[in-house]
Amino acid sequence: MTEKPTSGRGSRDLRVRVKTAKGRKLSSTLWLERQLNDPYVARAKREGYRGRAAFKIMELDDKYGFFKPGARVVDLGCAPGGWCQVAVPRVNALGANAKKPVGRVLGVDLQEVEPIPGAELHQLDFLADGADDLVKGWLGGRADVVLSDMAAASSGHKPTDHLRIVALVEAALDFAFDVLEDGGTFVAKVLAGGAENAMQQMLKQNFTKVANVKPPSSRADSSEKFVVAMGFRGRDRAAEESAAD
Ligand SMILES: C[S@@+](CC[C@H](N)C(=O)[O-])C[C@H]1O[C@@H](n2cnc3c(N)ncnc32)[C@H](O)[C@@H]1O
């Protein structure tokens, strides 16, 4: 592997080029090259975040302000932990600011997550039977913010990937309807592609404000976007809406 800045067109072209190596697929070479040249990957490393995903939730919270001191946050699909790392100080989960209320961050993922001070982490398949009840048990009450960055491993077939992510978002939304405090926030990754229209409708009925956002740190060539639904209208109303459907 060659990982050195190329001089290309003049000395300002500092892009790292990775040569193909025997046994490495072209897709892996391109992935490696993209990682090495991604400013968010470098920034995550510098600032101690576990991945570039941390900047997506940071940018969304900077814009919408849902992480408040004292907030109870559930992070579905939290590995390797970037979103939890951002949430912990913002909701004061470690009580570092004695003058502000202490929040809580509960993360769940299929994969094991290295401990994060201030976050409670559980390994769980959120689509398994009874998974939502388990999380509700750990939570022991309501949540102010439900996050979902859950994404299944890519199958390479876009429509299949899209349907999978919709199933994950729907499970997260069902859970949010059950546990969110009135006025609460739901943030989830979705893929642009059409199958989520019914979900958008449901969000608009049950939250006072729904935004579809592509934060600056989300790769331009990725079809991911995020829904930020704020001002949950309340459990009774959510139940009425689904009974009427
Ligand atoms: C893009 S990553 C999340 C990154 C995370 N937000 C961060 O900042 O580190 C998507 C995660 O969703 C998890 N995931 C996918 N399906 C899941 C499921 N059924 N239950 C729980 N987690 C799931 C994956 O294991 C993966 O870690």
User: Please, which residues have CB within 8 angstroms of residue 44's CB and are 6 or more apart in sequence?
Assistant: 50, 51, 52, 54, 55, 82
Q: Does the beta carbon of 107 lie inside 6 Å of ligand 1?
A: no
Which atom of ligand 1 is nearest to 126's Cα?
Answer: 20
| pLDDT attached to residue 193 | 62
Q: Which of 3-12, 23-32, 213-222 is predicted most confidently?
A: 213-222
* Cα–Cα distance measured from residue 207 to residue 131, given in angstroms and rounded to the nearest whole number: 24
pLDDT in tens, 165-175: 888 999 999 99
Choice among 13-22, 97-106, 135-144, 177-186 with the minimum mean pLDDT:
13-22
Residues identified as active-site: 189
pLDDT band, residue 195 (cuts 50/70/90): low
Residue of minimum CA distance from atom 27 in ligand 1: 79
| pLDDT attached to residue 9 | 41
Q: Does the beta carbon of 80 lie inside 6 Å of ligand 1?
A: yes
For residues 127 and 111, the answer to whether their CB atoms sit within 8 Å is no
Which atom of ligand 1 is nearest to 53's Cα?
Answer: 8
**Percent of the chain surpassing pLDDT 70:** 86
Closest by Cα among 38, 52, 117, 86 to 187: 86
Residue 41: pLDDT above 70?
Answer: yes
Residue of minimum CA distance from atom 13 in ligand 1: 77
More confident call, 206 vs 238: 206
More confident call, 37 vs 44: 44
Q: Does the beta carbon of 102 lie inside 6 Å of ligand 1?
A: no
**pTM score of the predicted model:** 0.86
Instruction: For the chain, list the domains and their CATH numbers.
Output: 2-36 (no CATH), 50-244 (3.40.50.150)
Residue 23: pLDDT above 80?
Answer: no
